[in-house]
Amino acid sequence: MSTQPIGPIDSSKTPRYAGPASFARLPRLDQVPRADIVVAGVPFDTGVSYRPGARFGPTHIREGSRLLRPYHPALDVSPFEIAQVADAGDIAVNPFDIHEAIDTIQAAALELTAGGARLVTLGGDHTIALPLLRAAAERHGPVALLHFDAHLDTWDTYFGAEYTHGTPFRRAVEEGILDTEALSHVGTRGPLYGKRDLADDRRFGFGIVTSTDVYRQGVDDVVAKLRDRIGTRPLYISIDIDVLDPAHAPGTGTPEAGGITSRELLEILRGFDGLNLVGADVVEVAPAYDHADLTGIAASHVTYDLVTLLATRHAQSENSTRHRSRH
| 149 known ligand binder | yes
pLDDT in tens, 180-230: 999 999 999 999 999 999 999 999 999 999 999 999 999 999 999 999 999
Model pLDDT, residue 179? 98
Model pLDDT, residue 323? 62
Pairing of strands 85-90, 37-42: parallel
Model pLDDT, residue 1? 43
What's the CA gap between 234 and 244, in Å, rounded?
A: 25
The domain containing residue 132 runs over which residues? Answer: 23-326
Whether residue 9 lies inside any domain: the answer is no
Mean pLDDT confidence for 67-82:
98
State yes or no: pLDDT of 325 exceeds 90.
no
Whether residue 247 lies inside any domain: the answer is yes
Q: Single out the residue of 137, 129, 88 nearest to residue 105, CA to CA.
A: 129
φ, ψ dihedrals at 307, nearest 5°: -60, -40
pLDDT in tens, 281-321: 999 999 999 999 999 999 999 999 999 999 999 999 888 77
What's the one-letter identity of residue 23?
A: F
Whether residue 18 lies inside any domain: the answer is no
| 293 known ligand binder | no
Cβ atoms of 78 and 305 within 8 Å: the answer is no
φ, ψ dihedrals at 24, nearest 5°: 55, 20
pLDDT band at 327 (very low <50, low <70, confident <90, very high): low
| Count: domains in the chain | 1
Whether residue 285 lies inside any domain: the answer is yes
Whether residue 257 lies inside any domain: the answer is yes
Whether residue 176 lies inside any domain: the answer is yes
CATH code where residue 177 lies? 3.40.800.10
pLDDT in tens, 219-258: 999 999 999 999 999 999 999 999 999 999 999 999 999 9
What's the CA gap between 188 and 161, in Å, rounded?
A: 23
What's the CA gap between 72 and 123, in Å, rounded?
A: 24
56: left (phi over 0), alpha (psi -120 to 50) or beta: alpha
Whether residue 245 lies inside any domain: the answer is yes
Residue 228, Cα to own-chain centre: how many angstroms?
21
| 248 known ligand binder | no
| 305 known ligand binder | no
Sheet containing 235-240: which strands, arranged edge to edge? 85-90, 37-42, 118-123, 277-283, 235-240, 143-148, 178-188, 206-210
Q: The whole model's pTM is what?
A: 0.97
Whether residue 35 lies inside any domain: the answer is yes
